[in-house]
Copies of this chain bind each other. A is one copy, B any other.
Amino acid sequence: MKGIVASILLGGAAMAALPLSAQLTWGSKDIHYPKNFQVAKNIVTDTVIPAWRGERVGALALIQVPKGEKVEVKAQLKGKLKGTASFVDYVLTDDFRQCGTHPTDLPAWEAPDIIDNVAKSVTLDGETRPIWVTIEVPRNAKPGKYTETLEVNGQKITLNVEVSAMTLPKPEDQSFYLNLWQQPYSVSRYGKVKPWSKEHFELLKPYAEMLYRAGQRTISAILFFEPWGEQSNDLFEPMVETVKKKDGSWSYDYTVFDKWVEFMDKNGVNGDIECYSMIPWEMKFRYFDEASGEYKFVQTTTKTAEYRDLWGSFLKAFASHLKKKGWFDRTLIAMDERGLEDMMNAYAIIQEADPNFKVMLAGNYHPELTDKLYSYTIDLGKSFPAGELEARKAKGQVTCLYTCCSRPDPNIFSNSAPADATWLPVYCTAVGYDGYLHWSFMNWTDDPMKDSRFKLFAPGDTYFIYPEGRSSVRYERMVEGIELSEKVKALQEKLLKAGDVKGYQKLDAALNPIRIGYSTKNAVSTAKQVNYLEKVVAELSK
């Protein structure tokens, strides 16, 4: 072992030269490269990526240092376009892909998913390590070819970005409705900061920014303690403090709620405010009882007078507060996976409190509910009856698809094919839905940087973004899918307006395998479906 270790020069380019036998190559974003992957074959030193102006472009490289040549490596992207190069770190996963208790006897494996934009270098000895390159093509970039260089300890490979004259909408102007639920209490626990302290917001900032960048349309707000029992590692604390005063009347403190919404707004996530939940997993509602000076619970059902009183009072006060803040029209009284009867009971109470309250459900389809729900999200394996999506769209309502533990694939577990995260938004668009919902963007496990397995569900189902503002392959691939969806829509409109029958049909043909792909008995390769669509989109973008 030679033990070549370079000194780290902050911001500098000079690192120890790589051993001559080290291999640097472009790789595939569709592959989970194991650490012992041998890159010696098919070295690619020059690659081309088509892009639109305003696009966030990802590319994956691989560096392998021969065994016995222990060396610290550092990656840098150089060129006219703004870009970063980060090492991809591994997180433990296994092959569990369903709901329920996570088994403990499955062999674990390491998924390269963490895009470590914090680490400045890694030390390798015999292993292969992926490097993730992100480029944000400026919205005013001149169309044409840009040549970027990925440099690893002096060794170089070339990335050509072919920028089309087409421009993506800004994230806030995207038509795609992205709904990734946030879990701020994971961030405070992991960061060991007081919830809603200045430090907490500091830690939350990169996530708000990443959500904004992806085109996030919702803020997740929690009305009462823990709407979902213990299905997340961290319990959800309420953002409204509900107090029963000594005289039996209710009072509400919106301080946290207001801070949270204002914080998200400030970071560009200023769409719908989804408030969970009038119908939690466990039908109990915590409040502070002034008389006893303790927290107490109302354990009830949606049928009781007690429930009607509790929520009638809450919703009236809440409506008044929201109107004062100018947020009423953005606020959704939101429920997750609840049955029809409970939904109808809750709806009646909402209507009585304020008939203009918007209501949201992520759950099963019920014909009785579709008129009542401003926002309705169903499982990706199900569908609305023919014609209903269009009718909802005409009324300005939002209709999306979700995936959770119930679907083995395509999905965004840490063991999912990387292309699945790209496929999902495109699928939603291609079959006529407004967007995609996932219940857990950052519901971290105890040690989210090391182990994505949780006591429940498929590993990584509960989060796909990492501590300290680290991105992930899954996040980047999802952004790619949302951008691809926007491109498809923009091109469809362009080709239609131009009466370009051939071009339109070509694009449509490329969408068909995605529309039917997940359901066929063939081994589904979302990568093939997505890559073909991207190829066609690039051709039509010239």
Contacts and interface: CB of A to CB of B under 8 A. Distances in A.
A496 B493 contact: no
A499 B496 contact: yes
Given A498-B499, A499-B496, A512 B382 contact: no
A521 B386 contact: no
B528 A432 contact: no
A395 interface: no
B432 A522 contact: no
A535 B387 CA distance: 10
A513 interface: yes
A515 B513 contact: no
A34 to B, nearest CB: 26
A517 B389 CA distance: 14
Nearest to A390: B509
Contact of A515 (B381, B382, B515, B521): B515
A436 to B, nearest CB: 15
Interface centre among A386, A432, A497 (most CB of B within 10 A): A386
Given A383-B522, A515-B515, A515-B516, A501 B496 contact: yes
Interface residues of A, number: 46
A432 B516 CA distance: 11
B509 A389 contact: yes
Contact of A431 (B497, B512, B522, B529): B512
A532 B391 CA distance: 12
Contacts of A506: 390
A386 B533 contact: yes
A501 B493 contact: yes
A432 B510 CA distance: 9
B501 A387 contact: no
A146 interface: no
A7 interface: no
Nearest to A497: B499
Given A499-B496, A512-B431, A521 B382 contact: yes
Interface string A336-374: 000000000000000000000000000001000000000
A120 to B, nearest CB: 39
Contacts of A529: 386
A508 B533 CA distance: 18
Contacts of A514: 386
Contacts of A518: 519
Contacts of A522: 365, 382-383
Interface in A489-510: 493, 495-501, 504-506, 508-510
- Number of this chain's copies in the complex: 2
Contacts of A390: 506, 509-510
A535 B365 CA distance: 23
Contact of A381 (B432, B499, B513, B520): B520
A501 to B, nearest CB: 5
A400 to B, nearest CB: 15
A363 to B, nearest CB: 14
A386 B532 contact: yes
A293 interface: no
A514 B431 CA distance: 10
A519 B519 contact: yes
A390 B535 CA distance: 13
A431 B508 CA distance: 9
A385 interface: yes
A497 B495 CA distance: 10
Given A499-B498, A501-B493, A532-B387, A509 B432 contact: yes
Nearest to A506: B390
Given A499-B499, A519-B519, A510 B365 contact: no
Contacts of A382: 520-522
Contact of A513 (B386, B499, B533): B386
Contact of A516 (B365, B431, B499, B535): B431
Interface string A465-481: 00000000000000000
A383 B520 CA distance: 7
Nearest to A389: B509
Interface of A: 365, 379, 381-387, 389-390, 431-432, 493, 495-501, 504-506, 508-510, 512-522, 525, 528-529, 531-533, 535-536
Given A386-B510, A493-B501, 15 more contacts: A381-B521, A383-B516, A384-B513, A386-B531, A387-B532, A387-B535, A387-B536, A389-B509, A389-B512, A431-B515, A496-B499, A496-B500, A496-B504, A499-B499, A518-B519
Question: Can you list the 5 inter-chain pairs with the closest CB atoms, starting with the nearest?
Answer: A519-B519, A386-B532, A386-B513, A432-B512, A387-B532
18 contacts: A381-B519, A382-B522, A383-B513, A383-B520, A383-B522, A385-B513, A386-B529, A387-B532, A387-B535, A387-B536, A390-B510, A431-B516, A493-B501, A497-B501, A512-B515, A515-B515, A518-B519, A519-B519
